Amino acid sequence: MNPSPALMVRMVLTAWETQHKRTTKVFDSLSDEQLLKEIAPGRNRGVYLLGHLTAVNDNLFKLFGLGEPSLPTFYDQFVKEADQPEAALPPIATLRKQWTDTGAALLKAMNTLTPEQWFDRHTAVSAEDFAREPHRNKLNVLMTRITHEGYHHGQLILLQPKEQA
C-alpha cells in the first residue's frame, strides 16, 4: 500500500468542503437579526465572523498563487481590525453573497491545482525556508484554515436558539 499525494490532497479538499458546507448551513440558518448579536457578551458579532471567514478565504487566492483577492479591503476590515459594533459594515445581504461567491470561486480555483502544486510552498514562505521546512506547503495552509473555520463554527451555532441547534 503506497498512498499517493493525490489521495492525501483529496482527503484535505474533502475535509475543506465538508467544513465549508457546515459553516454555510449555520449562516443560512441565522436571520440578519441573529447575525447582529454577539456570540457571547462583549465578543464578536455573527456578522463580523461572516466577513472574517470570507476575508480569510479570499486571502487564500494570493497565498496559493491563484490570483489576487476579490475583496482587497476585507483583510484589513475583518482580520486586522477587531469587531467594532459602531463601525459601518457592508449590508448583510451583500456579505452573505460574498461568502457564497468567494467559497465557490475558491473551491473551483483550488481544484485546478495539481498534487505537486499542493505540496509546493505557499507564497508567504521563501524557497530557502521551504527547503528546510517542507511541511510549509499549500496543503498544510488549507489544513489550518479548516481548523480555523471549525473554531468559529463552534461559536456561530451559539447564535441559534437552543431548540434549533
Q: How far apart are CA 49 and CA 116, in angstroms?
A: 33
Kindly state the smallest distance separating residue 66's Cβ from a copy of itself, in Å.
19
User: Site mask, a copy of itself, residues 89-128, x = CB under 8 A?
Assistant: --------------------------xx--xx--------
Q: Which stretch binds a copy of itself (CB under 8 A): 8-16, 62-70, 86-94, 100-108?
A: 8-16
Q: Which stretch binds a copy of itself (CB under 8 A): 2-10, 27-35, 91-99, 105-113?
A: 2-10
Grid-cell match 436571520, residue found: 31
Q: How far apart are CA 124 and CA 46, in angstroms?
A: 29
User: Site mask, a copy of itself, residues 130-159, x = CB under 8 A?
Assistant: ----xx-x-xx--xx-xxx-xxxxxx--x-
Grid-cell match 467544513, residue found: 19
Buried-exposed string 62-89: b where 16+ CB fall within 10 A, e elsewhere: bbbebeebebeebbebbeeeebeeeeeb
Closer of 99 and 118 to a copy of itself (Cβ): 118
Cell numbers representing residue 111 in the block? 481544484
SS3 137: strand
- Measured in whole angstroms, how far is the alpha carbon of residue 81 from the centre of its chain? 17
Contact residue for a copy of itself among 8, 63, 107, 125 (CB under 8 A): 8
Kindly state the smallest distance separating residue 120's Cβ from a copy of itself, in Å.
6
Q: How far apart are CA 85 and CA 43, in angstroms?
A: 10
User: Site mask, a copy of itself, residues 11-30, x = CB under 8 A?
Assistant: xx-xx---x-----------
Number of Cβ within a 10 Å radius of residue 5: 13
Sites of contact with a copy of itself (CB under 8 A) = 1-3, 5, 7-8, 10-12, 14-15, 19, 39-43, 115-116, 119-120, 134-135, 137, 139-140, 143-144, 146-148, 150-155, 158, 162, 165
